[in-house]
Amino acid sequence: MCLIVVGWRVHPDYPLVVAANRDEFYARPTAAMARWPDVPQVIGGLDLEAGGTWLGITDIGRFAAVTNVREPGMTKGLRSRGALTRNFLTTTVAASEYASQIDYAQYSGFNLLLSDNDSLVYCSNREDEPRTLAPGVYGLSNQLLDSPWPKLLQARERFAEALPGLPDESAFFDLLSDQSIVADKNLPSTGVPIEWERLLSAIFVKSETYGTRASTLVWQDAGGKITVHENSFGPNGQPLQSSVISTSE
């Protein structure tokens, strides 16, 4: 489960801004955000179990992020969803063309955001066709784009309020660290037990075994310089490390 909010061409000085939380079981082996040893132009984390990534960006601004669709009981796909992002980041194919070439049946339910600098594309194997998105602020969790889950609505609103403050990052990380639980009457019904619905309703999720493992802010300025700032966490939200990587303009 994850949360991603994207500002696409809504700030005059920062055409791409992304704030994201990656939620996962703490036991799943993961490498924190860094330049990939085999593809150093890519900045992102790595899933050491399946080899893909949930979010990454290249030195020239190719961006990709993926979330799963919460649908308990569905048959698992043959391929890892993290391969969708990894493959895009290591090619030069346009975002719309890449989205049209995916074999959607090979994967469990996913949402995918792709940017090639010229366009931002959303696609999902739970929606009919890829969409090229107009400038705006978009939110994604574990349903379709901009599904009106309480935490997503709140995150998108607070993200829009934080945008004018860039390059000050504090409001974004305040947003990503919000542990407020949604009242039962406002919880979505996604087929998981009520205890999990409550746990997952927070923007920042924490428990002994599962929770937010990384909070990441990515922003690109009008000159092309990219900054990636990631804070990582262990069980019960214990801070582990903070990393910042910037590219040259």
Residue-wise pLDDT tens digits, 172-231: 999 999 999 999 999 988 889 999 999 999 999 999 999 999 999 999 999 999 999 999
Give pLDDT, residue 1.
Answer: 57
Confidence of residue 249 (pLDDT cuts 50, 70, 90): low
Residue 232 confidence (pLDDT) above 90: yes
pLDDT value for 223: 94
Tell me the mean pLDDT in the region 40-47: 95
Report the pLDDT averaged over residues 82-102. Answer: 96
pTM of the predicted protein model:
0.95
Locate the domains of the chain by residue range.
2-246
Percentage with pLDDT > 90 across the chain: 92
Share of the chain above pLDDT 70, in %: 99
The pLDDT confidence band at residue 58, using thresholds 50, 70 and 90, is very high
- Whether the per-residue pLDDT at 84 is higher than 80: the answer is yes
Residue 87: pLDDT above 60?
A: yes
Topology of 2-246 in CATH? Penicillin V Acylase; Chain A (3.60.60)
Contacts of 147 (CB under 8 A, 6+ apart): 141
